[in-house]
A and B are shown apart, each in its own frame.
Chain A
Amino acid sequence: MNVELKHQAIAGTTESSDIQIMIEPNTNEGIEIQLDSSVQFQFGKQIKLVIMDTLEKLDITQAYVKATDQGALDCTVKARTLTAAFRAADIDQDYDWQVID
């Protein structure tokens, strides 16, 4: 699936057990993630890994992500990342949900 980030987009809230993902095209190479998490010390690495992994499955190789986490589980992190990416790419139909598995 070809997902090209066109502009900034956001998904998720800052409620507990949710994560807010703000994604935009990156002027630098690669995927940059700035994470602020209530469980940073215990799960910071894992959250970044899930975001990275999800973006890679969409073949996104260049992105800037600002994530504000309130203890979301991995499934939520994936869902919010996907949604933000689709929104940033103006994809509003024919979603490829396969990437979740």
Chain B
Amino acid sequence: MVKNAINREIPDNYAAQYGAFEGAWAKQPTYKTTSRQVHAIHPGDSKLVASIHEAIEKVGLKDGMTISFHHHFREGDYIMNMVLAEISKMGFKNLSIAPSSIANVHEPLIDYIKDGMITNITSSGLRDKLGAAISDGIMENPVVIRSHGGRARAIASGDIHIDVAFLGAPSCDEYGNINGSHGKAVCGSLGYAQIDAKYADKVVAITDNLVPYPNTPISIPQTDVDYVLQVDKIGDPDGIASGATRFTKNPKELIIAEYAAKVIEASNYFKQGFSFQTGSGGASLAVTRFLKKAMIDQDIKASLAIGGITQPMVDLLEAGLVDKLLDVQDFDKASAQSLRDNENHYEMDAEMYASPFSKGAVINKLDVAILSALEVDTDFNVNVMTGSDGVIRGASGGHCDTAASCKMTMIVAPLIRGRIPTIVDQVNTVITPGESVDVVVTEYGVAINPARQDLMAMFKALDVPQFTIDELRQKAYAIVGTPDPIVYTDRVVALIEYRDGTLIDVVRKPGQQND
């Protein structure tokens, strides 16, 4: 067993294979990116195929290969289940899947794992029943959890080699020019899919909206696409993007948001031309609303907002309070529409968004990020992956990427959720190391990471109650009691890669609990 830089125990074999986490900025390699196979297309050649079956035959899928999907359709995705059902019918075995993330709707994966068709998975997240099944040990090989930036790095460097990418395409022509802004299953940005298209040996575009050549705007160009398949439906629009974002009425979330906005206002970062990223949780969205008021009152405009884009950010853009949005993914219909219509709202790929080993990611230019958490411990480590029962149910997302890179990382979370404390002695799983976390904001007040003495000084006169992180932890335990730690077996069910590819933690199968 190896202890990494934040004292998490990594089994020797995995530590040897991946390396143990040494610190957020321990690695700065010079390297060559991976190459891909290209089969040249001549004039007159057609890329159109008639069925998934034909596509799978033409790409030459074999047992043991790695296939990928994008998660821009979120809970509305039909592509992954559709493709895997056909692959299953054709009897393939021992495949690796490398989707950018996995949603609840992908529950059929459980059967494909059990029958040996899928033997390896890498993903940002695992939800619900699949997460529970993985935690229960249905896979022999642990799932590799990668952040959005970490996945882009792994694909570009060749750690993940994608043999075939099956990419849902809301709008596509017969030569494979794709965008996500038009059609029946509009998802907006295709930022995660762009990486798969760029580095996969074979790319199959699957569309329910085949348009005349050339299809513009071009998010994924024809030069990245081998085959085009037309089907009835690639996704459910209501599952892809939520409707109008309603502002939270939850008083806890509102006070957290108010405190968070006060912290930002009081910081030196709140000045003309600042930049920020917010998450899509209730409190995060509400921060944007409070921030908007402060920006108007003090006549301060932001130069850039990024991320998963949501309607409140679009509102800021349209109100002239933000100059540009850089967009890797859209969470609601208003955001997708804005990407299509507003020239200051620009699509970016996952590598540009967050890869640690690119020639500079956009997150490096961030001043402030507002992120959420399932658990934060007294070393400021954050868990967004496993529940308080130790079972996998979350997603790494861009959490550790953004937290590492921006100047002030704020975690917004309620002190307790029901009887579950958010601030704890030790998180079940570390996704983001404490060194990347600067301010924790709860409804009781804030805790500043003592490593940031500059922030301590900056917030001397802040009109928000301030505590040490341990005082917040004590407040939580005083209300709910001291939770018994989860008992784990030695069986490793998931490896948590830090964005640089080293292991920051592993997830073990929970064992017999003492109750």
Contact = CB atoms under 8 A, between A and B. Distances in A.
Interface stretch (B143-151, B215-223, B286-294, B478-486): B478-486
A68 B510 CA distance: 22
Given A73-B479, A73-B480, A74-B481, A42 B418 contact: no
B515 A72 contact: no
B481 A46 contact: yes
A17 B515 contact: no
A2 interface: no
Nearest to A46: B481
B484 A43 contact: yes
A82 to B, nearest CB: 19
Nearest to B486: A41
Contacts of B483: 39, 42-43
B16 to A, nearest CB: 32
B479 A42 contact: no
A39 B390 CA distance: 11
A40 B513 contact: yes
A98 to B, nearest CB: 23
A91 B457 CA distance: 60
B511 to A, nearest CB: 10
B419 A73 contact: yes
Interface string B410-433: 000000001110000000000000
Interface in B478-507: 479-481, 483-484, 486-487
| Most chain A beta-carbon contacts within 10 A, residue among B388, B389, B515 | B515
Contacts of A17: 418-419
B420 A39 contact: yes
Nearest to A45: B515
B513 A71 contact: no
B30 interface: no
Contacts of A93: none
B514 interface: yes
Contacts of A43: 419, 480-481, 483-484
Interface string A38-65: 1111111110100000000000000000
| Most chain A beta-carbon contacts within 10 A, residue among B390, B479, B484, B513 | B484
Interface residues of A, number: 18
Contacts of A35: 515
Nearest to B514: A45
A28 B513 CA distance: 26
Contact of B419 (A39, A45, A48): A39
Contact of B513 (A44, A46, A72): A44
A70 interface: yes
A35 B501 CA distance: 43
Interface in B370-394: 388-390
A16 interface: yes
A70 B515 contact: no
Nearest to B515: A44
A22 B53 CA distance: 57
B418 A41 contact: no
Contacts of A46: 481, 484
Contacts of A70: 418
| Most chain A beta-carbon contacts within 10 A, residue among B419, B483, B515 | B419
Interface of A: 16-17, 35, 38-46, 48, 70-74
Given A42-B388, A42-B484, 16 more contacts: A39-B388, A39-B418, A39-B420, A40-B515, A41-B389, A41-B484, A41-B510, A41-B515, A42-B389, A42-B419, A42-B420, A43-B483, A45-B514, A71-B419, A73-B419, A73-B480
23 contacts: A17-B418, A35-B515, A39-B388, A40-B513, A40-B515, A41-B389, A41-B390, A41-B486, A41-B515, A42-B420, A42-B483, A42-B486, A43-B480, A44-B484, A44-B515, A45-B484, A45-B515, A46-B481, A48-B515, A70-B418, A71-B418, A73-B479, A74-B481
> Which 5 pairs from chain A and chain B are nearest by CB?
A44-B515, A71-B418, A42-B483, A71-B419, A41-B513
